[in-house]
Amino acid sequence: MSEPTIDFQSLPDEYQQVIRLAQSMLTNSESISRQDLCELAFNDYRNAGKGWANAILTLPMKRISDFYFAKSPKERNSPVLFEKNRLDETVPAVLDEIPIPKYARK
């Protein structure tokens, strides 16, 4: 059975823009390594800055959901390491189908 598909061109412009933005954010996130960020921060510091570098960590929803589903409820209540990124305990709270005892939905 194949995945349902849609014709991208038939979507309203606003949806197309959101999809392009999400794809751009994911591509950018995957292209910047932790080492790159460290070097950017160091260069900022050398140039009389505060030594900061920023990036958006963008993760595919399926991968992150699968990761949290594999964790026990107790493990979901603590920060975790996902692909070398430390994720705060609040991250799974925004995932609809992942139960987190500490942040029980009413």
Q: 């140039």: which residue's tokens?
A: 47
Confidence bin at 4 (pLDDT 50/70/90): low
What single-letter DSSP state applies at residue 32? Answer: -
pLDDT at residue 104 in the model? 67
Q: How many CB atoms lie within 10 A of CB 76?
A: 21
Structure tokens at 79: 């920060």
Q: 């954010």: which residue's tokens?
A: 25
Distance CA 70, CA 62 (A): 12
Confidence bin at 5 (pLDDT 50/70/90): low
Question: What mean pLDDT do residues 41-68 have?
Answer: 87
Question: What mean pLDDT do residues 2-21 have?
Answer: 73
> pLDDT tens for residues 94-104?
887 887 777 66
- Reported pTM: 0.60
